[in-house]
Structure 1
């Protein structure tokens, strides 16, 4: 386990014993805007593409999960590499169904608000089927809101590698921020620019890393106190909650936090990507490339997809 991960675990352990000042949990009267998107059409089975199953069906109130599912499916199929299906009912999912696919992408959250005491989770049999599928070599992409639940499900935490903890973790207020690739030799990131920007997105900070997950961090983002200045923050947040004395007391402030990582789970490969909030953020080529390449790697262990010009490292930067 790397020194960075050990330090992150130490922070997480200390946070359990000590009251942590974190971002207030904000619930506002908000629904994602209606958008018009092209629908992905069926793929000829003779093309023998990588088979992807998106597991969805529920999410928190600020996520347009139906629109994101459609956009992910369309983007993936447009590459010519993937054949994508979406299920909105995994309550009683089984291993036989999962084994029909090369990789599963989770775009699911069990709560309307991630701090809600009640949640909708799958059956025990469905969870066990997912764990067994990955342990036996199936690929998994843990996508964005996959980390906002499962904190009370030990094996799920181990599977995805980290979870958000209300009162301990926070969504940093900036809606636009750079992601820095800290490993540019991995097949997913090789050839990409060192810095990838995302917009209208969530920077998850102070996530609790699972001590039993074999995590390899690919990219981080910095939760900088300067970005909490009222003139920079969205009006969604109360500036009084981020006064200088309160910022100083926040765990993990002015520090780098993992946003992308890989992990082994049995014989399976896991790609975790915390960004990709909505259809707006998905329009950016750098983020698109990370998602597509991460999905291909989780499915096959290799990456063959080309990098779009806007995301490619041309050696001039």
Structure 2
């Protein structure tokens, strides 16, 4: 597997400026779980692996479940071999033994990162809903918890009945930092333009031990809620730390969303925080601004 990085490319700048620190000698083991999704996981999982591996801080392994509808009984990853699990998954339930081992891994202090449609998965798994804070679709309703949004500097919870999960038209939108001193966001722009994506809204869940780090808004004319929706947040679960990003839609012919330099920076910083509780990565000067997107153009997926 090779990652070709241009000497003067955006990729090089991002890696050098974002990740050069004495802590990079440590390579944390990451398990990316995929294999089923309503998005194009065949592309996204390879790009996510490339992001982790190119950083110099992480070494990622991809494991795929059986295809949708096939026997899942043999899907039993050894979670304990890894420092972090990254979910790129929205599909069939896992075996009970695997679910128990996953819960034990996080509860005992294992790191967890999930993005976009992974919060659509497992609507009937109580502990998973606690781990992710809020999620959507899959029959989620008020029985799963309130709708969570941001208003006047704090989390608001709407307990009215209705389904959980929706989004408007894909578009660029501005991400606003709400916790600038949190290790994941410290030093990052207060506001930055995210590359064309689906902005989830009306997500529901227990929302326990949940801290909203950043929000974004989409006008109702574009199918949005008109409210500031949580897009980056953390959850504490037992001794485990979870970083949840609702960003990251990937279609068969469009993966630019997860090549957004803002998405990459927060993913990597969120991953380190989930493992250690701190972030040692330096902040890149090559990030999106409040008015301009920035794509990590030269990332090469594994061959």
| Bin of the TM-score, shorter chain as denominator length | 0.7 to 0.9
The gaps in structure 2 that reach 5 residues or longer are 5-24, 67-71, 140-162, 290-303
- Given candidates 199, 209, 214, the residue that maps to 1:214 is 209
- Given candidates 263, 267, 272, the residue that maps to 1:296 is 272
Question: 1:132-211 counterparts in 2 under 5 A?
Answer: 132-165=104-137, 167-211=163-207
The gaps in structure 1 that reach 5 residues or longer are 1-37, 42-46, 111-119, 229-251
Higher relative contact order (CA 8 A, sep 6+): 2
Counterpart in 2 of 1:53? 31
1:223 aligns with 2:218: yes
Question: 1:214-253 counterparts in 2 under 5 A?
Answer: 214-228=209-223, 253=225
Paired with 1:102 and 1:93, the residues of 2 have a C-alpha distance of 19
Change (3 A) 1:67 1:99: same
Paired with 1:40 and 1:58, the residues of 2 have a C-alpha distance of 25
Change (3 A) 1:55 1:39: farther
CA contact (8 A) 1:191 1:312 kept: no
CA shift digits 1:54-103 (9 cap, x unpaired): 0111111xx221211111111211111001101003844557x1111111
> Cα offset for 1:169?
2.2
Counterpart in 1 of 2:64? 88
CA contact (8 A) 1:93 1:129 kept: no
CA shift digits 1:178-220 (9 cap, x unpaired): 1111111110000000112222311110000315x21000011
Counterpart in 1 of 2:284? 308
Normalising to structure 2: TM-score of the pair? 0.72
CA shift digits 1:247-298 (9 cap, x unpaired): xxxxx83211111110111001000001011221122211110011101111
1:108 aligns with 2:104: no
Q: Which runs of 4+ in 1 moved over 3 A?
A: 38-41, 90-95, 165-168
- SS of the equivalent of 1:210 reads coil
> Cα offset for 1:226?
4.3
Counterpart in 1 of 2:96? 124
1:259 aligns with 2:231: yes
CA contact (8 A) 1:163 1:207 kept: yes
Counterpart in 2 of 1:285? 261
1:64 aligns with 2:61: no
CA contact (8 A) 2:174 2:216 kept: yes
CA contact (8 A) 1:150 1:163 kept: no
CA contact (8 A) 1:53 1:104 kept: yes
Q: CA RMSD in A?
A: 2.2
Range with bigger deviation, 261-270 or 271-280: 271-280
Greater C-alpha radius of gyration? 1
CA contact (8 A) 1:137 1:269 kept: yes
CA shift digits 1:139-191 (9 cap, x unpaired): 00022111112222211111111111364421122421111111111100000
Change (3 A) 1:134 1:199: same
CA contact (8 A) 1:40 1:70 kept: no
- SS of the equivalent of 1:309 reads coil
Counterpart in 1 of 2:51? 75
Change (3 A) 1:199 1:83: same
- SS of the equivalent of 1:208 reads coil
Change (3 A) 1:58 1:39: farther
